[in-house]
Amino acid sequence: MIKKILGIAPTPTADGAFSPSPLAIKLGTSSTTDYDGGAYTKPYAGAKNRVLMVCTEERNMTMANGKKFSTGNHPVEMGLPMLHLMNAGFEIDVVTPTGAPVAIEAWAMPADDADIQKLYRDFDAAFANPGSLADFVANDMEEATQYAAIFIPGGHGAMLGLPENADVGKVLHWAHDTNLHTLALCHGPAALLAAKSDAGFLYNGYKITVFPDAVDKHTPVIGYLPGPMPWWVCEKLNALGVVTINKKADNSVHVDRRLVTGASPKAANDFGRLAAQTLLNTAR
């Protein structure tokens, strides 16, 4: 009752999970974004003009206390990079592990941002009926020459179903072996864990920006999460040799070889521009 009065009680959802508390929504989301317009003087016009966006299809994360968090892909962390990539001349192919609909954190949607709202209207059908990553890996991946990058958007949902998915591991190795870029934002780097094999970890020694464990450990205090995390992204990546270079959930972005990363929703615009410009620079 006290938490409800203070606005820090997570909000129950129809399926028994919890979305963030009113205070957490107020502090952690915004009705607009810092999208800078995404103008590029010379958009890409070559043959490698597609980006494979690997999204989660799972919504509810079971926390360490057994409560479920209603998550998915964060609409800003997915949307702003998409806008930048498209304005830079690239097309987005949406896939989930099995082809089930993309799970999106609706509670984080910036309702007054015209660019994001239009994007989600335009991609409504693609999010409802995405391609299957399993089918892509089995039937198309080895012969696919039209891709410049794969993109793993953020949201805690990136921790669900992707880090242990064999097809995600295969597509990450394929991107690495064929000199494609890999783009991952906020909790998106959790999916990189799928690139662990008997031969070692693909990103051992890489430096990245990512949503810090320290912040995830404090967010239950304001009701952003309904309980402690079931596991820690940075902890698992660090144990495999990844170096996390940011300490805050800020606008930090980084490029290490062909891996482009960003730290948080605050980095979505800068990450999108860095990703798009990096692809353009490589193409040229």
Per-residue pLDDT of the chain (284 residues; tens, 9 = 90+): 556 645 689 999 999 999 999 999 999 999 999 999 999 999 999 999 999 999 999 999 999 999 999 999 999 999 999 999 999 999 999 999 999 999 999 999 999 999 999 999 999 999 999 999 999 999 999 999 999 999 999 999 999 999 999 999 999 999 999 999 999 999 999 999 999 988 899 999 999 999 999 999 999 999 999 999 999 999 999 999 999 999 999 999 999 999 999 999 999 999 999 999 999 999 87
Q: State the amino acid at position 213 in one-letter form.
A: D
The reported pLDDT for the residue numbered 284 is 73
> Is 20 within the bounds of a domain?
no
Establish if 29 belongs to a structural domain: no
Looking up residue 68, the CATH number of its domain turns out to be 3.40.50.880
Q: How far is CA 23 from the centre of its chain?
A: 24
Report pLDDT for 25. 95
Q: Which of 186, 229, 267, 276 is catalytic?
A: 186
- Smallest Cα–Cα separation from 33: which of 118, 102, 104, 94? 118
Name the token pair of 213: 């464990």
The model's pTM: 0.96
Residue 38 in any domain: the answer is no
On whether residue 74 sits in a domain, the answer given is yes
Annotate 107-143 with DSSP letters as a single string. Answer: GG--TT-HHHHHHHHHTHHHHHSPEEHHHIIIIIGGG
CA atoms within 13 A on the CB side of 193: 21
pLDDT at position 145, please?
96
* 273 within a domain of the structure (yes/no): yes
Count: domains in the chain: 1
pLDDT at 8: 83
What is the phi/psi pair of residue 243, to 5°? -105, 115
Q: Is residue 268 part of a domain?
A: yes
Does some domain include residue 36?
no
**Residue 2: predicted pLDDT:** 53
User: Catalytic residue at 186?
Assistant: yes
Give me the pLDDT at residue 3, please. Answer: 61
Range of 91's domain? 47-283
Residue 41 lies in a domain: no
